[in-house]
Structure 1
C-alpha cells in the first residue's frame, strides 16, 4: 500500500473513532424514537389528543438526529441539541410518571392495564426511560469535557500514528 493510501486510511480510522464516541447516544436516540413511535401509533389508533406528546417528541428529536449525522462530517465534542432533547425527554418522562397517579393515566396509557399492575409496569418503563436519558446526558458531559474513555483511546491511537 502506498504512503498516501495509508495516511488516508489512518485519517478515516481516527474520524470513525471520534464518531463512535457517540455510539451509545445514537442507540438510545433510536430507542426513544421507536418507543415514541409505538406510543404514537397507539394514540392515533384511539384517536386521542394525547398523540401530540409522542409526535412532538419525535419531531423535536429530528434536531439531535441531524446533529449526530453531522458529527461524521465535522467531528466535535459538543452536541447542544442532543443534550437539550435528552433533558426534555427526561422532563416528559418525569411528568408522565406523575400522570400515573392522576386520571390522565387512563387517557395517556389506555393501552396498559388500568389496575395497579399496569401502573407499575408503566412506571417501570418510564423509570428506565429516565435512567437512559440520564445516562446519555452524563455521557455527553463526559464527551464534552474529553473525559470519556474513548477519547483517551483515540489520543493513544493518534500518538501511535504520530498524528
Structure 2
C-alpha cells in the first residue's frame, strides 16, 4: 500500500515537472502555430491565382513552420533548453517578412500576393507582416531567456524541485 502511494506521488511529481518544463515554450508554440496557419492561408489564397512564385514561397514557409511546430511538440519529452529548428525558423520568417514588405511596395509584390487588389488589402498584409516580425523577435528573446535561465519558469522549476 505504501509503495503504491509512493509510486503515485513519484509519478505525479514527474508529470508536474514535465509540464513545467513544457510550459516554458508555450509562447513559442502558440506563435509557431499562428505562423503555420498564416502561411497555410497564404498558400491557399495564392493557389487560385496560379502565381508560381507566391505558391512556392508560401509552400516553403509552410514547410519551415511545420518543422518548427514538430520541434515544439517534442519539448514534452525533451528537456534540452535550445530549440535550434525553431530559432532558425524565426530568423527566416523575419527575413522573409522584411523582403515581402519591400516587394509589396513594387508591382513584383503581386507575384507573391496576387490577392492584394487594393490599398486596404495591402495595408492588411503589411500589418500582418510587421506583426510577424515583432512576434518572431519577441520569441527569439524568449528563447535566449530560456537558454540563459532568465525566464520565470527557471525559478518556478527550482522552487518545485526544492519542495519535493
Same fold (TM over 0.5): yes
* 1:69 aligns with one of 70, 73, 83: 73
What does 1:64-103 align with in structure 2 at a 5 Å threshold? 64-103=68-107
Distance 2:151 2:64 in 1: 27
Q: Per-residue displacement from partner, 1:104-140 (whole Å, max 9, x unpaired)?
A: 222222222333x333222111100111111111111
Q: Does 1:147 align with 2:150?
A: yes
RMSD, aligned α-carbons? 1.4
Contact 1:93/1:129 (8 A) holds in 2: yes
**Alpha-carbon distance, 1:61 to partner:** 2.4
Q: Does 1:114 align with 2:118?
A: yes
Contact 1:89/1:133 (8 A) holds in 2: yes
**Alpha-carbon distance, 1:84 to partner:** 0.3
Q: Per-residue displacement from partner, 1:56-111 (whole Å, max 9, x unpaired)?
A: 01112233222222211121111111100000001000001101211122222222
TM-score, normalising length from structure 1?
A: 0.92
Give the secondary structure class of the aligned counterpart of 2:93: helix
- Structure 1: tracts of 5 or more residues without a match: none
Distance 2:44 2:89 in 1: 21
- Structure 2: tracts of 5 or more residues without a match: none
TM-score, normalising length from structure 2?
A: 0.91
Match of 1:3 in 2: 6
How many residues were matched structurally?
Answer: 160
Q: Does 1:24 align with 2:27?
A: yes
Match of 1:105 in 2: 109
